[in-house]
Structures are given as structure tokens and as C-alpha cells.
Structure 1
Amino acid sequence: MDKIKIKDLELYCRHGVFPEENVLGQKFLFSAILSVDTRAPGKADDLEKSVNYGELCHFIREFMEEHTYKLLEAVLEHLAEAILQKWEKIEEITLEVKKPWAPIGLPLETVSVEITRGWHTAYIALGSNMGEKETYLRNAVKELDESAGCRVEKVSDFIATAPYGVTEQDEFLNGALKLRTLLTPEELLELLHEIEAKAERVRTLRWGPRTLDLDILFYDNLVLDTEELHIPHIDMQNRDFVLKPMAQIAPYMRHPVLNKTIKQLEGELHG
């Protein structure tokens, strides 16, 4: 990915742990590395197709003057999210803030913190087999799209499927969606659980009936196996109610462990 770099933008802000820092303020130096595709603006010589770094610098100044944080870590987390939300062309940003006048009582040049944040692509499975099934699914899509740091880009059809595991229950309505998100996998899982709880999801019986079921299928090409989270989702290659809606929105998404596309996995399941 191409880069646009801003180095040591000097601003006077009121951030710090000590009360006098929040009142009197001090100098900070901000640097940014923007991961963007500069091919189109470069070929067309058109600023509208790129990221106006002048506007970005003024945005940083205004944001830092309007907010006060104790920690440099908090400064960067909130600033990175604000920038990524405002400029869709920025896929990833590395931000550094330097504090030349850090009040530690010892001589030093600067104290600094640097972070890298960016957009990730996740695929989420949706299911319901209680009550107003379609309403539960559509509300979940809406809540995800309206959540901070999330954008729903594609949604499959909702498909009626037979129950899996515990078969003596009502049929399910299943679907899948593509999500662009700034959240980590763990943060995303927490958000999904919050949305399930709003739908009065009760976890009593594995594979049992539920008002709403939301599962992370993929998160970029990440392979993760913890007590709380398994990515890619375990056994998805054997579940028609996952593969069929996924094939609508991402037929050529490649499973990072099995090294097969969704279309291939669906064909093997029915082969």
C-alpha cells in the first residue's frame, strides 16, 4: 500500500495526567503515516481522488484542541478512530505523538507513543429460530452498521434451514454479512454478544433454539484459537446454512486453514 507521511506537526494542547497540564497546556509533535492507494490520484493528478493532508493536519489540530486526555495512548486511540471514520480512503494509519516537555523531573528529548490502526474485514453468520426471526436478523444488521467503528458492506439473503445438532426445534432463518470494522476480534465478539442480549438471547442449550445467533466466521486471514474465540469458525465447512449465504456474498473468499474457497467448500459439501 502507498504511503502519505506527515512528520512532527507542532501543536499546543492540554493533555496530561497532572491538572496543570490540562490547564496550562504544552507542546506536542504529531506524525502520521497514511496507507492509501495513490494510483488513481497520481494518474489523474486530482486531489479529490486522494487524501488532502492539509485538511488532515487542520483536523488533527481541531480534534486535539477540542478534547482533553490524560494519556498519550488515549490521545492516539481516539484520534486514529476519528481519522479513519472521516477519511474512507485511508486503509490504515500509524500515528505518533511526542511530548518534548514531559514533566518527569529528568532531562530528555521527548517521550512518545506510536500506534497503528486500520480497517479489517470480518464475515458474520446470523441465525434465528424463535419469534419474529427476520426482524431479529434485520435489527442485528442495523445495529452492527450503526455501531462505532463498523460498516456493513454486504448482506446475503435470509435462508430457511433445518436445525443443526438438536433437530427437534423450529427451522432456522440464516444469513451472512460482510463487515468492515476497526474493532479487534475480541471487541467484535463482545459487540455481537451485546446485540444478542438485546434480542433476549438465552444461552442454555448448545445448538438449541435462540432468538439471535451471531458468529464471527472470518476476520481478515486471521487464524485464532482461544478459549473464547475460534477463527475461522470451527466446522463451518460442514454447515450448509453457513456456506450457502456466504457463497452469495463472498464465493471466492479463501479459508486460511483449508486453503479452499467458499464456492469449493460448498461444492464439496453437496458433491
Structure 2
Amino acid sequence: MGVIKITNIQVYAYHGCLVEEGKIGSDYRVDVEVKANLQPSAISDSLKETVDYVHVNKIVKEEMAIRSKLLETVAKRILDRIFKEIDIAEQATVEVSKINPPIGGNVERVTIQMTLSK
């Protein structure tokens, strides 16, 4: 088993329950970790046999572009697509962070983390 991590994918998106969040948007950070058997790709040196992090980045950007009220919903969509499109994925964890959230205080970010296994 091995792990592919894509850290600090920066996206501007329009998630949130407040109407203003849908109009103004804000900065987000997404971190993804995918566990899979990386031994075949280590031997073959073939991109087809590993977790293509370019593909994972594309999934994140496409799903972040779809407005949702909850970060949990976005994380679930990302996880669902990882398992649908990356056959060797055994387990994946996604963290979605809203930078400077409008919660009435000086908060750097709020983060939700979800993990899904086959």
C-alpha cells in the first residue's frame, strides 16, 4: 500500500449558506490523500498503474466549481469521483478548508475532513 498526497490545492469558489457567499465567493484550500497499491507502478514506471495526481487535481477543481451550501457536500462529490474514476484507489481522505470564513471572528480557516474506503 502507498499514499499519494496532493496538498494545498488553492481554489476560489462560491460555497456557503449565506447569499453573500454565493455572490462574493472566497478562497479555499483542498488537500487529498489517496491510498492504493503503488507496487505495480513502481515496477512498471507506468502512469496508467498509479494515482495520477493531475487527474485528482482536475476532479477537485471541477467539483469545487459547483456551488454547494456545505463543504461536506463538496468533499463527498470529490470522494465519489475519485472512486469512480481511479480504479486502484482503496481509501481516500479529502479536507476542504474555507479561508477566512465569515463567522463573526478572526478565524484563519474552517476545515471539514472526510474519508471513504472501498
The TM-score bracket by the shorter chain reads over 0.9
The one-letter code matched in structure 1 to 2:110 is V
**Matched residue, 2:18:** 18
The one-letter code matched in structure 2 to 1:52 is D
Residue 9 (structure 1) aligned with residue 14 (structure 2): no
Unaligned runs of 5+ in 2: none
**Matched residue, 1:59:** 59
Residue 29 (structure 1) aligned with residue 29 (structure 2): yes
Alignment partners' CA distance in 2, 1:83 and 1:44: 22
The one-letter code matched in structure 2 to 1:40 is P
Alpha-carbon distance, 1:82 to partner: 1.7
Alignment partners' CA distance in 2, 1:23 and 1:105: 19
5 Å-filtered alignment, 1:38-49, equals: 38-49=38-49
Alpha-carbon distance, 1:34 to partner: 0.2
The alignment partner of 2:16 has SS state of coil
Deviating 4+ runs (over 6 angstroms): none
Identity %: 28
**Structure having greater relative contact order (Cα 8 Å, sep ≥ 6):** 2
Alignment partners' CA distance in 1, 2:63 and 2:73: 13
Unaligned runs of 5+ in 1: 120-271
Larger Cα Rg: Structure 1 or Structure 2? Answer: 1
The alignment partner of 1:105 has SS state of coil
The one-letter code matched in structure 2 to 1:55 is H
Alignment partners' CA distance in 2, 1:101 and 1:88: 36
Alpha-carbon distance, 1:117 to partner: 0.5
Question: Structure 1, residues 105-151: CA drift from partner, whole Å, max 9, x if none?
Answer: 201111101011121xxxxxxxxxxxxxxxxxxxxxxxxxxxxxxxx
The one-letter code matched in structure 2 to 1:8 is N
After TM superposition, the score normalised by the length of structure 2 is 0.94
Alpha-carbon distance, 1:100 to partner: 1.1
Whether contact under 8 Å (2:100, 2:106) holds in the other structure is no
The alignment partner of 1:54 has SS state of helix
Residue 113 (structure 1) aligned with residue 87 (structure 2): no
The alignment yields a C-alpha RMSD, in angstroms, of 1.1
The alignment partner of 2:89 has SS state of coil
After TM superposition, the score normalised by the length of structure 1 is 0.42
Alignment partners' CA distance in 1, 2:99 and 2:111: 9
Alignment partners' CA distance in 2, 1:37 and 1:48: 13
Alpha-carbon distance, 1:21 to partner: 0.9
Alpha-carbon distance, 1:19 to partner: 1.0
Alpha-carbon distance, 1:20 to partner: 1.3
